[in-house]
Amino acid sequence: VRARVMQVEHSPEVSYADIGGLEQQMQEVRETVEMPLESPEMFEQVGIQPPSGVLLYGPPGTGKTMLAKAVANQTNATFIKMAGSELVHKFIGEGAKLVRDLFEVARENEPAVIFIDEIDAIASKRTDSKTSGDAEVQRTMMQLLSEMDGFEERGDIRIIAATNRFDMLDPAILRPGRFDRLIEVPKPDSEGREIIFQIHTRNMNVDDDVDFAQLAEMADEASGADVKAICTEAGMFAIRDDRTEIYMTDFVSAWEKIQAEADEDGDVSR
Ligand code: ATP
């Protein structure tokens, strides 16, 4: 079960340079996660505790997972990911056991960054503890909080959680000593999208006429993940046309195709 729900990567291949348009968020993540891992003595000497847990919140596909991976890369830490949704609908006690395993794997692989995606799945305020399934979800959450409470002794482990549903969160998890540092990760603005286009076309054979500023203006409301999808799709248009160079028109067609697909799904951004 462990291997199925836990993703473990040693020093993942994502760096800060791969992330576009999130300067301020990167800065905050570096201060709250990277600094305590790299220079714990600084915090000791100053006499403050680094934040226990950092919560990244914002729409899907905006780079939350990338941020967590980039810190792990920068600090040569093991990246251990678990999705909140994997912790629900389990046999009694299994969710809590998976949380214990998660921290055990982290301890065995220090320094480590634990990333809990979709934390709302186990920490929603709508959970009604009267139904047995929900009581089980609550026990899983309690286990997570109790692991976090023993934080000082835990050493070189930092914990980052992420959610697309900040409004759904149980305020209990945001208390001091828990996820007490909140970082909003919004969709990129036009400038951010332009940088993300540049990042994702770094290895693409792009024609000189391709205007990324114009593309960024055009792809209004696109997330970072959408921009990546546009780039890949543009490449596909070139291939279909038996070309190895990608033109501006390929990017425009790609955006139209992706928008049409999103409309079918009833969703602007995936
Ligand atoms: P979710 O909430 O769906 O888990 P997320 O915010 O964790 O989403 P990521 O998994 O980090 O999103 O992003 C998905 C992919 O989209 C990344 O692998 C990357 O290719 C691209 N992407 C998203 N945001 C950015 C960004 N700011 N800069 C560059 N690429 C990005």
DSSP symbol at 151: T
Residue 21 Cβ inside 6 Å of ligand 1? The answer reads: yes
Give the CA dihedral 260, 197, 219, 61, nearest 10 degrees.
Answer: 70
Ligand 1 pocket check: which of 15, 193, 223, 228 to mutate, most ligand atoms within 8 Å of Cβ?
228
Contacts by 13-17 with C-beta closer than 8 Å and gap 24+? 13/73, 14/66, 14/69, 14/70, 14/73, 15/70, 15/73, 15/74, 16/70, 16/74, 17/199
Ligand 1, atom 19: closest residue by C-alpha:
225
Residue 225 Cβ inside 6 Å of ligand 1? The answer reads: yes
The alpha carbon of 225 and the centre of ligand 1 are apart by a number of angstroms equal to: 5
* CA atoms of 43 and 48, how far apart (whole Å): 5
Q: Is residue 200 marked as binding?
A: yes
* CA atoms of 31 and 15, how far apart (whole Å): 16
What would the two tokens of residue 252 be? 């425009």
Our measurement of the distance from residue 14's CA atom to the centroid of its chain's CA atoms, rounded to an integer in Å, reads 12
Q: Is residue 93 marked as binding?
A: no
Q: Look at residue 268 in the predicted model and tell me its pLDDT.
A: 52
The alpha carbon of 87 and the centre of ligand 1 are apart by a number of angstroms equal to: 22
β-bridge pairing 78-83 and 157-163: unpaired
Ligand 1 pocket check: which of 56, 66, 195 to mutate, most ligand atoms within 8 Å of Cβ?
66
What is the predicted ipTM? 0.96
Alpha helix locations (H) across the chain? 2-5, 23-29, 35-38, 40-46, 64-74, 94-108, 132-149, 190-200, 212-218, 224-240, 248-265
The atom of ligand 1 lying closest to the CA of 68 is 11
Cα-trace Rg, the chain = 20
The atom of ligand 1 lying closest to the CA of 21 is 27
Residue 67 Cβ inside 6 Å of ligand 1? The answer reads: no
**pLDDT tens, position by position, for the chain (270 residues)?**
566 678 999 999 999 999 999 999 999 999 999 999 888 889 889 998 888 899 999 999 999 999 999 999 999 999 999 999 988 877 778 889 999 999 999 999 999 999 999 999 998 886 555 555 678 888 899 999 888 887 665 568 999 999 999 999 999 899 888 898 999 999 999 999 999 999 999 999 999 999 999 999 999 999 999 999 999 999 999 999 999 999 999 999 999 999 998 888 765 554
* CA atoms of 145 and 165, how far apart (whole Å): 19
Ligand 1, atom 1: closest residue by C-alpha:
60
Residue 161 Cβ inside 6 Å of ligand 1? The answer reads: no
The model's pTM:
0.91
